[in-house]
Amino acid sequence: MSIVQLHHIRKVYDTKVAVEDLSFTIEPGTMFGLLGPNGSGKTSSIRMMIGITVPDSGSVSLFDRPFTRSALSRVGYLPEERGLYKKMNVLDQLIFLGQLHGLSASVASRRASLWCERLDIVEAIPKKTEDLSKGMQQKIQFIAALLHDPDLIVMDEPFSGLDPVNSFLLMSTLVDLCSIGKAVLFSTHRMDQVEKFCNSIALIHRGQLVLSGSMRQIKSNYPRNRVLIHYEGDDSFLRHPCIEHYKRYNGTVEIRLLPSATLDDDTQSLLAQAVAHARVTRFEVMEPTLEEIFIEKVQQALPIDNDHELSMAQLDQPNAGGLDA
């Protein structure tokens, strides 16, 4: 059984192709990361997945059935653009949104209180929404998406604007939900979050799928030719012959090994040399980061487009344009 199945969906807004031939599947109990820079089509895909817009071609299945609106009662959605009724009391608001998802007022009220306790915002319950801080409002909306105990939880950039404590609280809540068999899809352009929590990903760029599959599978396609060293003192070990390229930051160096380098011998001799000259606090041999894989994939997919050089700093720039595709 699969929770979500996108089958070659395509969406065009006027002349702009927002999503092109996108297919992926989400299984129950998966933490699914939908990745891509701003304007790559994440939100458009999500909107088609939950019936806010209809794909121009292709099909969407939820819970093994072609999309119908009745399936939406099993979906919890946190949009990227947060929104609540500002003038409404928090509890009334949660009850109202719960009722829209088919809960009775009393059940919605009870669950709302439980969730507020769990997310540590009991004091917000009697207040007006507009009197809450932005982070608190975000938590309220997070609760609103989960109140009806959905089987599919869709969160568009759920942690943007949250402090680390709250991000962690929400993330661990999602992990808990995942472990009891719910499917969680969240979109982000922050690769580090995905790398830590997701067990399955889809990478999209300019509306097209660049990479997808389980995290382990994707990573195993790449050799472990990255070395990360935290050190103090002399950096002469960076002249080691197996190093193809390195980037040095404050007390940290990221090394890419030559394709010819062997995992055991060369890395061990690199470590020995580093220890001989400097005080090493961390030494890790690993696969390329998702960020590097992503950049590589995008550049492969678009070889002609050279003046459009990709870097994550650039990808983080908000895209200008009327339509948030």
Residues that bind other proteins (CB under 8 A): 14, 47, 50-54, 69, 72-73, 75, 77-79, 81-88, 96-97, 99-101, 141, 144-145, 321-324
Place of tokens 């890419």: 256
Q: Indicate the pairing of strand 200-205 with strand 208-214.
A: antiparallel
74 or 277: CB nearest other proteins:
74
The rounded Cα 235 to chain-centroid distance in angstroms is 36
Q: Which of these, 288, 325, 293, lies nearest to 312 by C-alpha position?
A: 293
In whole angstroms, give the CA distance from residue 33 to residue 23.
14
> Least Å distance between CB 317 and other proteins?
18
Q: What is residue 208's three-state secondary structure?
A: strand
50 or 204: CB nearest other proteins:
50
- Segment (H or E) for 179: helix 164-179
> Least Å distance between CB 95 and other proteins?
10
Angle at alpha carbon of residue 254, lines to 309 and 235, rounded to 5°: 130
119 or 253: CB nearest other proteins:
119
> Least Å distance between CB 88 and other proteins?
6
> Least Å distance between CB 227 and other proteins?
44
Structure tokens at 162: 């949250």
Half-sphere exposure of 158 (CA within 13 A, CB side): 32
127 or 256: CB nearest other proteins:
127
96 or 222: CB nearest other proteins:
96
> Least Å distance between CB 81 and other proteins?
4
Return the axis-axis angle of helices 134-146 and 105-118, rounded to nearest 10°. Answer: 130
> Least Å distance between CB 154 and other proteins?
8
In whole angstroms, give the CA distance from residue 77 to residue 51.
11
31 or 97: CB nearest other proteins:
97
